[in-house]
A and B are shown apart, each in its own frame.
Chain A
């Protein structure tokens, strides 16, 4: 008789927080169930309390992996971007979240990993490793990576400078990038506020861009980042 082969979860010996911090994680059906249930509640909340309106969702590709890039003003941003995706894509969408903020204690890590399905991104250290995780995600079909190239939530409400990471990921590839702009999220729940206020939020999703002809060096990456920042910023200027 051939012996059975077992494939235990790779994080058996890790504590709960450690399991949430690791990536890729090994979720079981309870995690998927909790995430789907939370998404239904959160989507209803966003549409009811914040009157969330989404335009341009039809721009998002139906197949293949892609990146969503947006301005970052609030914890609501990620929930809004996730709400623009069909529910069946929910478990394949990975918002990059600061490891030093979201993956430190159990409550935050549980929210980030279970509800949002966040990818722990090292902002100060392990940047190269984090980018490699993103690259692997995008090489598999059907994944969505959500990035905030500003690297943190704005404190002024204005669009900050974009960091190079997103450029490094897509330069010289056919991976489509969807520039997105959120307005109202800063007024609804700025950094430091305890609880969201009932303000309207508008999410605009722009036309896809690809950067196959851009070289993966300092100059190419800089041009990509500027192009994306301009695209995101321009959507913010259009009148309602």
Chain B
């Protein structure tokens, strides 16, 4: 991944065109709804405006190259962990949150460096990357021992481990994907398809939604929204087949399943955490979306599942 490679990559150019087109079309649709149909679109407009910032930022980092992409995903992971810590109250404990941040940075480093003995091809130390939870969980468990404390430590240790596994490791798979031979295809498809799945779930739920999907967890999500999004996600790998031309029907179907199911589950998993704490959004950092975690929750699920599915069938690097 380099700016030159991005420039010459057909995948990158096509996705840039699709994203630009989608943003333009959505903007026009909103304008027509507002000026011609006289509908109130203020809330959706806020959401849309944030997309206008987020989509070019992500594209720009991917364009800038491998290091920029890894740093970008690490930065997002740290923002997400910060949000998780603020929402659970863990942020008051600097040792624990510090260990989570150390874990995320360590994840970034394993993505950047090569295997020391040169036993793995290309960039990124995959062996350490997948073994990282061992070390970080060990580090987190060490903290109460070093501080000679017991009261409330199990809760803090557990929350820290969840924060690291969720954001440092599962979400971190996106950063490691920057080392893949087909990094543009994998990353751009994942980001685009997962977000489309989210938008589809929202739209189908809004238009057709009747039956609550998980009434106690997220009253607004409906079966209609989930099924609609699933249908869209099953079709997307075929429509965007140029992202991974070597995928056969089995891999394309698995990809659709991962996006369609993983996207909803990721969303609901964050909702469980939010409902248990008793908050509505994880934060208010992104106008119209809530917090960073509310935006990346589906990716936390889809990225590692897709990564290991693709890794099972094909050589990643």
B155 CB within 8 Å of chain A = yes
Task: State the CA gap A170–B92 with chains docked (Å).
Answer: 32
B98 at the interface (CB under 8 A from A): yes
List the B residue with the shortest CB-CB distance to A3. B276
Contact A29 B89 (CB under 8 A): no
Please tell me if A194 contacts chain B, counting CB pairs below 8 Å: no
Interface 1/0 per residue, A20-32 and B, CB below 8 Å: 0000001011100
> Which residues B74-107 have CB closer than 8 A to chain A?
82, 85-89, 91-92, 94, 97-98
A125 within 8 A of partner (CB): no
Contact of A26 among B86, B155, B277, B291 (CB under 8 A): B86
In angstroms, how far is the closest chain B Cβ from the Cβ of A172?
35
Shortest distance between the CB of B243 and any CB in chain A (Å): 35
Is A13 a contact partner of B281 (Cβ separation < 8 A)? yes
A8 in contact with B277 given A16-B285, A29-B97, A29-B98 (CB within 8 Å): yes
A14 contact set on B, CB distance < 8 A: 284
Docked complex Cα distance between A4 and B154 (Å): 10
Name the residue on A nearest B290 (C-beta).
A13
Contact A8 B279 (CB under 8 A): yes
| Contact A8-B284, Cβ < 8 Å, known A28-B97, A29-B94, A29-B97 | no
Task: Give Cα A13–Cα B92 distance, bound, in whole angstroms.
Answer: 18
Min Cβ gap A18→B in Å is 8
> How far is A4 from B162 in the complex, measured between Cα atoms in Å?
15
List the A side residues contacting B155 at CB < 8 Å: 4
Distance between A62 CB and nearest chain B CB, rounded to angstroms: 24
Q: Which residues of B contact A9 (CB under 8 A)?
A: 86-87, 89, 91
**B92 (CB) vs chain A CBs: closest residue:** A7
What separation, in Å, do the CA atoms of A6 and B155 have in the docked complex? 10
A12 CA to B94 CA, complexed, in Å: 19
| Chain B neighbourhood of A8, CB < 8 A | 86-89, 277-279
Q: Which residues of B contact A63 (CB under 8 A)?
A: none
A29 CA to B92 CA, complexed, in Å: 8
B280 at interface, CB cutoff 8 A:
yes
Separation in Å of the A135 CB from the closest CB of chain B?
Answer: 25
Residue in A closest to B78 when the chains form the complex, CB atoms: A30
A15 close to chain B: CB less than 8 A: yes
Chain A residues whose C-beta falls within 8 Å of the C-beta of B287 in the assembled complex: 15
Residues in chain A near residue B82, CB distance under 8 A: 28, 30
Say how far B196's CB is from chain A's closest CB, in angstroms.
27
Given contacts A4-B155, A29-B97, A30-B82, contact A12 B88 (CB under 8 A): no
Interface residues of A in 211-235 (CB under 8 A from B): none
Min CB distance B61 to A, Å, is 21
- Closest B residue to A30 by CB, please name it: B82
Contacting residues, chain A, for B86 (C-beta < 8 A): 8-9, 12, 26, 28
Q: Cβ of B140 < 8 Å from any Cβ of A? A: no
Task: Verify if B282 is at the interface (C-beta below 8 Å from A).
Answer: yes
User: In the complex, which residues 18-44 of chain B have their Cβ closer than 8 Å to any Cβ of chain A?
Assistant: none
Residues of B within 8 A of A12 (CB): 86-87, 279, 281-284, 291
Contact with B along A27-56 (1 / 0, CB 8 A): 011100000000000000000000000000
Identify the interface centre among B86, B97, B280, B287: most chain A CB within 10 Å of its CB: B86
A110: shortest Cβ distance to chain B, in Å?
A: 14
Contact B280 A28 (CB under 8 A): no
A15's partner among B91, B276, B280, B284 (CB-CB below 8 A) is: B284
Given A15-B287, A28-B97, A29-B97, verify A6-B281 contact (CB < 8 Å). Answer: no
Q: Could you tell me the distance in whole angstroms from the C-beta of A35 to the nearest C-beta in chain B?
A: 14
Q: Which of B118-172 contact A (CB under 8 A)?
A: 155
The residues of B that contact A16 with a CB separation of less than 8 Å are 284-285
A12-B86, A30-B82 known; A6-B278 Cβ under 8 A: yes
Whether the pair B91, A29 counts as a contact (CB closer than 8 A) is yes
Within 8 Å by CB of A7, from B89, B94, B281, lies B89
Question: Chain A: residues with CB nearer than 8 A to chain B?
Answer: 4, 6-9, 12-16, 26, 28-30
A-B contacts, 11 of them at CB < 8 A, read: A4-B155, A6-B87, A6-B277, A6-B278, A8-B89, A12-B279, A12-B281, A12-B284, A12-B291, A13-B279, A28-B85
The 7 closest A-B pairs by CB, nearest first: A7-B89, A9-B86, A28-B91, A6-B277, A29-B94, A8-B87, A15-B284
